[in-house]
Amino acid sequence: MDELYMKQALMLAAQGLGRTSPNPVVGAVIVADGSIVGQGWHQAAGTPHAEVHALAQAGRLARNATLYVTLEPCCHHGRTGPCTDAIIAAGVKRVVVAMTDPNPLVRGKGIQKLRQHGLEVLEGVCAAEAAQLNEVFIKWIATGLPFGVLKTAITLDGKIATYTGHSKWITSERSREYVHGLRNMYDAILVGIGTVLADDPSLTTRLPGGGKNPIRVIVDSKGRIPLEAKLLCDCEAPVIIAVGPEASAEKLAALQAKGAEVLTLPLVAGRGVSLRHLFVELGQRNITSILVEGGAEVNASVLAENVVDKVHWFIAPKIIGGKTAPGPVGGLGLSDMAQATVLEDMQVKNIGKDILLTAYMQRREGRDVYRTCGRIGNSEGHS
């Protein structure tokens, strides 16, 4: 029954995906006498937390009830008060927590406070599922770096465009709508200047029911972006342009006058702007996740600089051929198969006529942050 109610809390938490940054997504369910009497989820940063919504709905029925929550209740003052205080004041008897909060301000202190006030606390129920749901928050809070997601679309023979550069459209309309769903979920979208010059994209979210537009990040070492580019002429979402030290000061001033934020960053030999430096800068701006929709060179750079955590790889049932038709990852490539980037935890599904492969970068020290949290949640023991 604990797992059943926690899965309901996880479903509630998922409703906050893409809306709570830089906070985690959290769901809460209150059960009394075998019935759900209150539930809620965190809906936006700065608004009441999931536990507060659930307690408000339960009212007096929360006394002696069990609270199921997907993340350890907070015990510190931020933009809202401590959830632990509200839980204690409501008279909740038992709290079931999916996983410990990796935020150093909490990290076990919330659970400790509840126990000190006589509440029974059970940890680790559906911990792995809770950790995956909050993979973005966990990566950012633990490292300061945004969670990097690489999306690309290829034909069956591994091409992202014809030899002339024509690429509209490789995938089906359903796949493209799925990608807009990803834009709706992540904080920022990143492309290279080549994409801007070739397609003049808006980089907005276009879903039937609307959606949240991500911050638009353009990697443009030399500051070549036209001042009349669509994304500089609308007010749909903020624009950040990453340039190198040699970009024209006059052009940068003109870009700033158009409302863009300009970041001057060091260069990496043969690749342009250092994307690791860029991710550090963006993480410091509370940008917790970045969807990379670049071309072959940007894809090569994010992989080479180890800022990708997850990939969404669309494969269309088309063959276009051509020795010079570009593939999804450019750069010099590798000389030895032992150096190849390895993916794991793969899931494959059909999106219309296309195939979507979703996977994570192979576990290695410093990268497997969110899955480590999930394993910790399962192994620290129950009480």
CA distances (Å), origin 7, targets 95, 125, 182, 278 = 15, 9, 23, 37
Does pLDDT of 98 surpass 50?
Answer: yes
Q: Is 58 annotated as a binding residue?
A: no
Does pLDDT of 211 surpass 60?
Answer: yes
What is the spatial distance between Cα 67 and Cα 125, in angstroms, rounded to a whole number?
Answer: 12
pTM of the model: 0.88
Give the 3-state secondary structure of 2-45: HHHHHHHHHHHHHCCCCCCCCCCCCEEEEEECCEEEEEEECCCC
Question: Mean pLDDT throughout 174-190?
Answer: 95
| pLDDT classification of 362: cutoffs 50, 70, 90 | confident
- Most confident among 85-99, 165-179, 322-336, 363-377 (mean pLDDT): 85-99
Residue 37: both structure tokens together: 């009497």
Q: Is 126 annotated as a binding residue?
A: no
Least confident of 165-174, 332-341, 370-379: 370-379
Residue 69: both structure tokens together: 């929550």
pLDDT score, position 70? 97
pLDDT score, position 382? 28
| pLDDT classification of 319: cutoffs 50, 70, 90 | very high
pLDDT score, position 338? 86
Does pLDDT of 369 surpass 90?
Answer: no
Q: Is 250 annotated as a binding residue?
A: no
Does pLDDT of 166 surpass 90?
Answer: no
Residue type, 64: N
Question: Mean pLDDT throughout 112-120?
Answer: 94
| pLDDT classification of 168: cutoffs 50, 70, 90 | confident
Q: Is 300 annotated as a binding residue?
A: yes
pLDDT tens digit sequence for 39-86: 999 999 889 999 999 999 999 999 999 999 999 998 876 666 789 999
Catalytic residues: 51
pLDDT score, position 374? 41
DSSP annotation string for 325-345: S--S--SS--S-GGGS--EEE
Which domains, from first to last, does the chain contain?
Answer: 1-138 (3.40.140.10), 144-364 (3.40.430.10)
CA distances (Å), origin 236, targets 55, 111, 206 = 37, 41, 11
Does pLDDT of 372 surpass 50?
Answer: no
| pLDDT classification of 165: cutoffs 50, 70, 90 | confident
Residue 110: both structure tokens together: 């919330």
Strands 66-69, 35-41: pairing kind: unpaired
Question: Mean pLDDT throughout 360-367?
Answer: 66
Q: Is 200 annotated as a binding residue?
A: no
Q: Is 179 annotated as a binding residue?
A: no
pLDDT score, position 76? 72
pLDDT score, position 376? 35
pLDDT tens digit sequence for 256-270: 999 999 999 999 987
Percent of the chain predicted with pLDDT > 90: 79
What is the spatial distance between Cα 205 and Cα 185, in angstroms, rounded to a whole number?
Answer: 10
pLDDT score, position 364? 56
375 or 137, higher pLDDT: 137
Mean model confidence pLDDT for the chain: 90
pLDDT score, position 381? 31
372 or 4, higher pLDDT: 4
284 or 370, higher pLDDT: 284
- Other C-beta atoms closer than 10 Å to the C-beta of 374 total 25
Least confident of 113-117, 320-324, 360-364: 360-364
